[in-house]
């Protein structure tokens, strides 16, 4: 496989630089205002949109490359604007860093205020309770002490004075709100740690082959900037068998039912092998380094003899799936060692081959019911691999193909065990068998668990901050009887219902009060 | 998991959904009658509508002009507490119209509620039979997802109207549900069967269910937002802006944490299935945008100068990105969430 990926160094965050003190103060005040935070929040959303419109590097690299081939001029401009790397772009980072600085600037003073608030006693009862949004006349002969006791039972924080009791509760609203924002900050840091100290790699493994977790073994390796190549978890495994089952009948014919790979895993060099059934949704975990099954396909095996009678190639060739519904695949074999001339072959692999009416061949089912390999192009000449330029193993570049001599165009498909002789004594190709390959993603992300904890904390805190309201209730007892008043400090919602329950509890004691309010 | 779906159950599911659409359509008519001509006892308005306007409404629709969210509905037990106090203690019922509406029109509203409960049950039954037919959770493709979303929207409305005076929303929610189901049956229907391999996980129950429930609540809020914006000040037979705001806020306050949870559950599933918890796949991008804009709405409501119309507009932008994420992304973008299995 060809390695064209360079380590990704763009993800590091750069702090904003501040200038003169006065300017800084102005900037800080503006930045931490709610209005700015709101605008940044909307910018944050807006800035993500291009990330879904244009293909992104690291998500769909093939499409980015395709874009560069199809419209190079436009792609160059899009690249300049980081539109293929939106989420690593400096302008995107600028928005979220400003947003999070704004968030810190907002949360810090509020935390201080909330801590003061937590120590403060509820305010004394206002003179005229009937002016409050909620007001009720209490019946019975309630004393201040009894009112305070009943309010405390409802988990109000209570103080009393001459002829009145004041209660307040719902402090968890602000606590939850602050915690939510702090947890978001934790989430951002976790994601950052993960991208600096984690790595991700892809590898394709054919049945019977093995993999050892070293940088060199990857087809594509994407480390964070702080990852040491020596620190990779030293496990290895062999793909013993790959099984895929498909729906055989009906509208969904050909859709995969399930696929799984049987691995013989060795957790460290020299350790005993264990068998692991690798499936989608069931990754292999070796000390926090996870191996995922993300794709699969066919790798037919061939034995190719060159013009001099020597076996120039023998082994499996992974084919790329062209038609996912039938797994009709294509692959390329390059044999630079073939004599007298180098050979290049283009092969179509059809797992369930049937002839079509116009004399072509096609696959009708993804399972290997009638596997056939069709040589649709064999070329002799210079493969152009000496100039050191990396080439994809899945294609022969068109400009190189043009200079080579075509030997065969669209031969009849070969069954397993059959051989095709190349004209002009250039040699022969024998289709010897069918293997399957699996594509794996292997990741190590130390930010995973912190990110999960932050996210969980954020959700719980969010529920507190959205569902709890800060509310105050006062009871005043005078010659004219007892009365209660209440208000809620957060807007929205209907305090009336709860106030009625509080009134009922004050009238009858907390236990039957709850019943009577229904 | 069976490779073959049970054809009888699958056919039953397809029939149930058609009957559900029928019930939703009739319910919608009932709500519309109630909205236009009914005394609409479940409505309250902060400001008393001018009497001549109310009289201009056909069939002499009467308005309950009460303060402090107190309603005059005897069946609304939730308001017993408010009745204790009232706003400034003046909870009076002042019918402003001349004649009262005819008795059958009075029954249109409650009848519509009953009809929508039946439609809801049929909708649920259709989803259940489809899931049983295939032996899996019934949200494995676009058709099933849209059916489930209509169910969630109707469910969110029906449950909320038990507690809050929001029957006025019924016409809009049942219309949306009927249209959604019609759209699903007409252009998204695929034969039931096993889901794609990547969906074989218990996370589908957690992640997709949470997304569906949150979406249902957001649809209710979105309906409020649309009415809010199209409502004229003179349109006295529609609920007031304050009421619409309150209902929308309520729905979002419940829906937002559920949506947050759905996104996090999705990240957990992605971590299991794709080897990373967040990878900016188009679906993830739009779930994130939706989340950020709803968060923006919650902040806007607490910011001077953004309350009211601006906050409502933000809410509708969030709603639009939600709809785009649920439907548009599956159609327009190719990504890891391409489970839509669109027909043809």
Q: What is the 3-state secondary structure (H, E, C) of A60-129?
A: CHHHHHHHHHHCHHHHHHHHHCCCCCHHHCHHHHHHHHHHHHHHHHHHHHHHHHHHHHHHCCCCCCCCCH
- Place B95 in a pLDDT band, splitting at 50, 70 and 90: very low
- Report B:234-293 residues touching A (Cβ under 8 A): 246, 249-250, 253, 256-257, 260-261, 264, 267-269, 271-282, 285-286, 288-289, 292-293
Q: Sheet of A328-335: strands edge to edge?
A: A320-323, A328-335, A343-350, A372-380, A405-408
Count Cβ atoms within 10 A of the Cβ of residue A25 and give its class: 0-12 exposed, 13-18 middle, 19 or more buried.
Answer: exposed
Degrees, nearest 5: CA angle A115-A118-A122: 145
Kindly determine whether residue B296 and residue A455, on different chains, have CB atoms separated by under 8 Å: no
- Nearest CB to A38; choose among B4, B68, B296: B296
* Dist CA A355 CA A363 (whole Å): 9
Write A403-408 long-range contacts (CB < 8 A, 24+). A404/A344, A404/A379, A404/A380, A405/A341, A405/A379, A405/A380, A405/A381, A406/A377, A406/A378, A406/A379, A407/A378, A407/A379, A407/A380, A408/A375, A408/A377, A408/A378
- Nearest CB to B81; choose among A250, A459, A496: A496
Kindly determine whether residue A443 and residue B275, on different chains, have CB atoms separated by under 8 Å: yes
Q: Please list every residue in chain B whose beta carbon sits closer than 8 Å to the beta carbon of residue A462.
A: 256-257, 260
φ and ψ at A467, to 5 degrees?
Answer: -100, -20
Query: For an interface test with A, which of B1, B2, B3 has the most A Cβ atoms less than 10 Å from its Cβ?
Result: B3
ipTM over 0.85 threshold: no
Kindly determine whether residue B271 and residue A448, on different chains, have CB atoms separated by under 8 Å: yes
* Dist CA B218 CA A3 (whole Å): 46
Residue B191 contacts A where some CB pair is shorter than 8 Å: yes
* Dist CA B171 CA B173 (whole Å): 6
Closest CA–CA distance from residue A447 to any residue of chain B (Å): 10
CA dihedral B298, B303, B306, B307 (to 10 degrees): 70
Quick one: angle between helices A34-48 and A90-119, nearest 10? Answer: 140
CB A205 within 8 A of CB A211: yes
* Dist CA A427 CA A310 (whole Å): 9
Among the ranges B84-88, B137-141, B224-228, B290-294, which has the highest mean pLDDT value?
B290-294
Tokens of A36: 């700015």
From first to last of its 518 residues, chain A has per-residue pLDDT tens of 344 434 444 444 444 555 678 888 888 888 888 888 889 989 999 999 998 888 888 777 778 888 888 888 999 999 999 999 888 899 999 999 999 999 999 899 999 999 998 888 888 888 888 888 888 888 877 888 888 999 999 999 999 988 899 999 989 999 999 999 999 999 999 998 988 999 989 899 999 999 999 999 998 888 888 888 888 899 999 999 998 888 887 777 778 888 889 999 999 888 889 999 998 888 999 998 999 998 899 999 999 998 888 898 999 999 998 888 888 999 999 988 888 888 899 999 999 988 888 888 888 888 888 899 999 888 988 888 777 677 778 888 888 888 888 888 888 888 899 988 888 788 889 999 999 999 998 999 999 899 999 999 999 999 999 888 888 999 998 877 888 999 887 665 578 888 888 888 888 775 544 444 44
- Report B:73-92 residues touching A (Cβ under 8 A): 77-82, 84-85, 87, 89
Residue A202 pairs with which residues in a beta bridge?
A220, A441
> Between β-strands A256-266 and A481-488, what pairing exists: parallel, antiparallel or unpaired?
unpaired
- Report B:85-124 residues touching A (Cβ under 8 A): 85, 87, 89
Q: Please list every residue in chain B whose beta carbon sits closer than 8 Å to the beta carbon of residue A37.
A: 299
Kindly determine whether residue B84 and residue A248, on different chains, have CB atoms separated by under 8 Å: no
Closest CA–CA distance from residue B102 to any residue of chain A (Å): 33
Degrees, nearest 5: CA angle A324-A325-A327: 55
Closest CA–CA distance from residue B276 to any residue of chain A (Å): 8
Q: Please list every residue in chain B whose beta carbon sits closer than 8 Å to the beta carbon of residue A442.
A: 275
* Dist CA A445 CA A227 (whole Å): 11
* Dist CA A416 CA A419 (whole Å): 9
Rounded to two decimals, what is the model's pTM? 0.78
Query: For an interface test with A, which of B2, B69, B79, B197 has the most A Cβ atoms less than 10 Å from its Cβ?
Result: B197
* Dist CA B163 CA A493 (whole Å): 12
Query: At A401, is the secondary structure helix, strand, or coil?
Result: helix
Kindly determine whether residue B194 and residue A255, on different chains, have CB atoms separated by under 8 Å: yes
* Dist CA A514 CA A124 (whole Å): 26
* Dist CA B264 CA A371 (whole Å): 43
Phi/psi region, residue A244 (left: phi>0; alpha: psi -120 to 50; beta: rest), is: beta
Which letter, b or e, does each residue of B333-342 get, where b requires 16 or more Cβ atoms within 10 Å of its Cβ?
A: bebbbbbbbe
Residue A492 is predicted with a pLDDT of 56
* Dist CA B78 CA A287 (whole Å): 54
Q: Please list every residue in chain A whose beta carbon sits closer than 8 Å to the beta carbon of residue B296.
A: 38, 41-42, 45
User: Number of A:B CB contacts under 8 A?
Assistant: 178
CB B110 within 8 A of CB B91: no
Q: In the predicted model, what is the mean pLDDT of chain B?
A: 77
Kindly determine whether residue A42 and residue B79, on different chains, have CB atoms separated by under 8 Å: no
Q: What number of helices (H) and strands (E) belong to chain A?
A: 12, 23
For residue A303, CA distances in Å to A92, A353, B90 come to 52, 21, 95
Residue B338 is predicted with a pLDDT of 60
Q: Please list every residue in chain A whose beta carbon sits closer than 8 Å to the beta carbon of residue B4.
A: 249-250
Residue B203 contacts A where some CB pair is shorter than 8 Å: yes
Q: How many CB atoms lie within 10 A of CB B74?
A: 8
- pLDDT, mean of residues B9-30: 91
Kindly determine whether residue B329 and residue A248, on different chains, have CB atoms separated by under 8 Å: no
Closest CA–CA distance from residue A397 to any residue of chain B (Å): 27
Query: For an interface test with A, which of B84, B203, B315 has the most A Cβ atoms less than 10 Å from its Cβ?
Result: B84
* Dist CA B75 CA A411 (whole Å): 81
Kindly determine whether residue A442 and residue B196, on different chains, have CB atoms separated by under 8 Å: no
Q: Please list every residue in chain B whose beta carbon sits closer than 8 Å to the beta carbon of residue A494.
A: 69, 82
Residue B121 is predicted with a pLDDT of 95
* Chain A residue with Cα closest to B260: A459
DSSP element (H, E) containing A298 = strand A289-306
* Chain A residue with Cα closest to B7: A250
Q: Please list every residue in chain B whose beta carbon sits closer than 8 Å to the beta carbon of residue A59.
A: 279-281, 335
Residue B162 contacts A where some CB pair is shorter than 8 Å: no
* Dist CA A400 CA A378 (whole Å): 13
Query: For an interface test with A, which of B86, B276, B330 has the most A Cβ atoms less than 10 Å from its Cβ?
Result: B276
- Nearest CB to B280; choose among A59, A256, A459: A59
Q: B163-221, pLDDT tens digit by residue?
A: 888 888 898 899 999 999 999 888 888 877 777 777 778 888 899 999 999 999 999 99
* Helix/strand/coil (H/E/C) assignment for every residue in chain B: CCCCCCHHHHHHHHHHHHHHHHHHHHHHHHHHHHHHHCCCCCCCECCCCCHHHHHHCHHHCCCCECCCCCCCCCCCHHHHHHHHHCCCCCCCCCCCCCCCCCHHHHHHHHHHHHHHHHHHHHHHHHHHHHHHHHCCCCCCCHHHHHHHHHHHHHHHHHHHHHHCCCHHHHHHHHHHHHHHHHHHHHHHCCCCCCCCHHHCCCHHHHHHHHHHHHHHHHHHHHHHHHHHHHCCCCCCCCCCHHHHHHHHHHHHHHHHHHHHHHHHHHHHHHHHHCCCCCCCCHHHHHHHHHHHHHHHHHHHCCCCCCCCHHHHHHHHHHHHHHHHHHHHHHHHCCCCCCCCCCCC
């Amino acid at each position: 496989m060809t390695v064209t990926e360079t380590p990704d160094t763009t993800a590091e965050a750069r702090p904003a630089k501040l200038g003169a003190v006065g300017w800084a103060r102005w900037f800080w005040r503006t930045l931490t205002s709610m209005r700015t935070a709101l605008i940044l929040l909307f910018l944050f959303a807006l800035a993500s949109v291009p990330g879904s419109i244009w293909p992104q590097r690291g998500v769909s690299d093939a499409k980015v490359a395709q874009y560069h081939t199809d419209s190079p001029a436009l792609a160059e401009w899009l690249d300049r604007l980081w539109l293929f790397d939106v989420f690593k772009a400096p302008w995107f980072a600028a928005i979220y860093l400003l947003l999070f600085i704004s968030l810190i600037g907002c949360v810090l003073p509020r935390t201080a205020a909330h801590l003061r608030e937590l120590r403060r006693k509820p305010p004394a009862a206002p003179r005229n309770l009937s002016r409050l949004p909620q007001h009720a006349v209490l019946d019975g002969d309630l004393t201040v002490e009894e009112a305070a006791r009943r309010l405390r039972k409802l988990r109000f924080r209570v103080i009393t004075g001459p002829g009145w009791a004041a209660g307040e509760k719902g402090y968890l609203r602000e606590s939850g709100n602050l915690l939510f924002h702090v947890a978001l900050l934790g989430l951002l840091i976790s994601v950052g740690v993960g991208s600096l100290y984690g790595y991700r790699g892809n590898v394709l493994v054919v049945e019977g082959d093995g993999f050892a977790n070293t940088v060199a073994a990857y087809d594509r390796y994407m480390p964070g900037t702080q990852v040491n190549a020596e620190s990779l978890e030293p496990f290895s495994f062999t793909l013993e068998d790959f099984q895929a089952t498909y729906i055989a009948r009906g509208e969904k014919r050909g859709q995969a039912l399930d696929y799984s790979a049987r691995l013989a895993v060795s957790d460290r060099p020299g350790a005993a092998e264990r068998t692991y059934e690798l499936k989608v949704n069931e990754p292999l975990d070796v000390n926090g380094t996870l191996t995922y099954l993300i794709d699969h396909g066919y790798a037919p095996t061939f034995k190719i003899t060159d013009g001099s009678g020597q076996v120039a190639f023998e082994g499996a060739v992974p084919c790329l799936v062209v038609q996912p519904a039938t797994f009709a695949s294509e692959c390329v074999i390059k044999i630079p060692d073939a004599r007298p001339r180098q050979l290049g072959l283009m092969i179509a692999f059809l797992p369930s081959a049937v002839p079509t009416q116009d004399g072509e061949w096609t696959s009708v089912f993804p399972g290997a019911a009638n596997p056939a390999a069709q040589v649709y192009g064999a070329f002799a000449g210079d493969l152009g691999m000496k100039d050191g330029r990396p080439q994809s193993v899945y294609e022969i570049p068109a400009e190189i193909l043009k200079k080579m001599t075509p030997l065969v165009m669209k031969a009849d498909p070969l069954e397993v065990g059959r051989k095709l002789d190349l004209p002009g004594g250039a040699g022969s190709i024998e289709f010897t068998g069918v293997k399957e390959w699996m594509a794996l993603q292997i990741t190590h992300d130390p930010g995973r668990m912190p990110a999960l904890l932050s996210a969980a904390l954020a959700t719980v805190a969010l529920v507190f901050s959205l569902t709890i309201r800060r509310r105050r209730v006062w009871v005043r007892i005078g010659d004219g009887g007892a009365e209660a008043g209440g208000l809620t400090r957060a807007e929205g919602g209907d305090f009336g219902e709860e106030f009625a329950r509080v009134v009922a509890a004050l009238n009858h004691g907390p236990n039957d009060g709850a019943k009577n309010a229904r | 998991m069976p490779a073959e779906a049970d054809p009888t159950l699958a056919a039953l599911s397809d029939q149930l959904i058609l009957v559900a659409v029928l019930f939703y359509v009739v319910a919608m008519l009932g709500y519309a009658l109630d909205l236009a001509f009914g005394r609409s006892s479940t409505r309250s308005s902060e400001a008393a509508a001018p009497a001549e306007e109310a009289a201009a409404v056909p069939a002499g629709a009467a308005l309950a002009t009460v303060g402090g969210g107190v309603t005059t509905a005897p069946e609304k037990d939730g308001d017993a507490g408010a009745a204790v106090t009232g706003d400034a203690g003046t909870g009076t019922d002042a019918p402003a119209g001349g004649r009262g509406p005819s008795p059958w029109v009075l029954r249109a509203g409650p009848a519509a509620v009953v009809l929508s409960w039946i439609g809801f049950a049929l909708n649920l039954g259709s989803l259940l039979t489809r899931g049983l037919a295939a032996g899996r959770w019934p949200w494995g493709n676009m058709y099933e997802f849209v059916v489930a979303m209509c169910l969630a929207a109707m469910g969110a409305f029906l449950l909320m109207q038990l507690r809050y005076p929001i029957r006025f929303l019924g016409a809009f929610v049942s219309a949306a549900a009927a249209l959604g189901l019609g759209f699903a049956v007409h252009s998204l229907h695929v034969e039931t069967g096993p889901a794609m391999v990547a969906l074989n996980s218990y996370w589908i129950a957690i992640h997709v269910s949470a997304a569906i429930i949150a979406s249902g609540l957001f649809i209710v809020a979105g309906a409020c937002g649309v009415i809010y914006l199209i409502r004229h000040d003179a349109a006295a037979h529609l609920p007031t802006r304050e009421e619409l705001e309150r209902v929308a806020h309520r729905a979002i306050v419940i829906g937002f944490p559920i949506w947050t949870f759905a996104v996090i559950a999705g990240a957990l599933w992605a971590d299991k299935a794709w080897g990373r918890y967040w990878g900016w796949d188009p679906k993830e991008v739009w779930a994130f945008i939706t989340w950020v804009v709803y968060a923006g709405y919650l902040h806007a409501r607490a910011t001077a100068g953004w309350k009211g119309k601006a906050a409502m507009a933000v809410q509708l932008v969030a709603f639009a990105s939600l709809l785009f994420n649920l439907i548009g992304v599956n159609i327009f973008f190719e990504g890891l969430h391409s489970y839509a299995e669109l027909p043809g």
